[in-house]
Structure 1
Amino acid sequence: MPSADMHDWTLVSTSVDWALGVGRLDVRWDGFDYELRFSGLQRFTMPREFGWGPSVSINVVRGPEDSLGKQRLQIEMQSGDVIEIIAESFELPAVLCVLRSVRSPGSQDQRKMNVPRCNSLRQSHPK
């Protein structure tokens, strides 16, 4: 089930601290840079096969959703590759929380969703 409307956002880079089990995805939207953070990392898979052709753009994000006591997030890239992260918690860019509340204030689906914490980390000026 899609949850974060990140269609056409750009995946810039990824970072994982193996020892601490934390990481982040650096993403860009509308000229601004944001971070999607995760902690309590259990699994991080990131194929880069370009089945639909090369792309750095996100197609759809599914989750975070419950998965055996953890949270699972899937990011389908416009290349056809699917990045999967299973972790204890996620922090999404604050702009996604604002977009969610504007698009569907108090909707039944939003109340049922296990919405992760939102943050305003590393929001910078347009490049």
Structure 2
Amino acid sequence: MNDLPEALTGLHDATLASVEFDWRERRCTFLFQGGPGEGLQHEFSIVFNDVTKLTIPSERPWGPSLSLLEVDSVDTGRYVLVMQSGDEIWISARQEPIRVLGNE
């Protein structure tokens, strides 16, 4: 695995509320209700721009959960968000993701 961008660090146990994909802009926004990480106790988003691929299963092989288990950078611009439900959300983007805090 490659190094994670700063925006994707410290997300273990963050609660995923929704995923929005803007087709025209090729922008994907993951909205989190908060998490235990420093500075993440309130709503925040992770935004991916110039998205080329997005896969979002919701099969829940380990049972229902809204929490994030881990995030990995598989290759440059290719990431996997592993949910505590066992689902793996895959995203490929040509730009590094950014984190936006709820009050920004």
- TM-score, scaled relative to structure 1: 0.66
**DSSP-derived class of the 1:85 partner:** strand
C-alpha deviations, 1:44-99, integer Å up to 9, x for none?
A: 00000000000000001002741xxxx01110000000000001113332xxxxxx
Name the aligned partner's letter for residue 5 of structure 1. Answer: G
Equivalent in the alignment of 2:17: 12
Equivalent in the alignment of 2:102: 123
Moved over 6 A (4+): none
Question: 8 Å contact 1:64–1:90 — kept in the other structure?
Answer: no
| CA shift in 2, pair 1:90/1:64, >3 Å | farther
Equivalent in the alignment of 1:104: none
Question: 8 Å contact 1:44–1:84 — kept in the other structure?
Answer: yes
What are the equivalent positions in structure 2 for 1:25-104 lying under 5 Å apart?
A: 25-27=30-32, 28-30=34-36, 31-63=41-73, 65-66=75-76, 71-93=77-99
Instruction: Name the % identity.
Output: 29
Q: Which has the higher contact order (CA 8 A, sep 6+)?
A: 2
In structure 1, list runs of 5 or more residues that go unmatched.
Answer: 94-120
In structure 2, list runs of 5 or more residues that go unmatched.
Answer: none
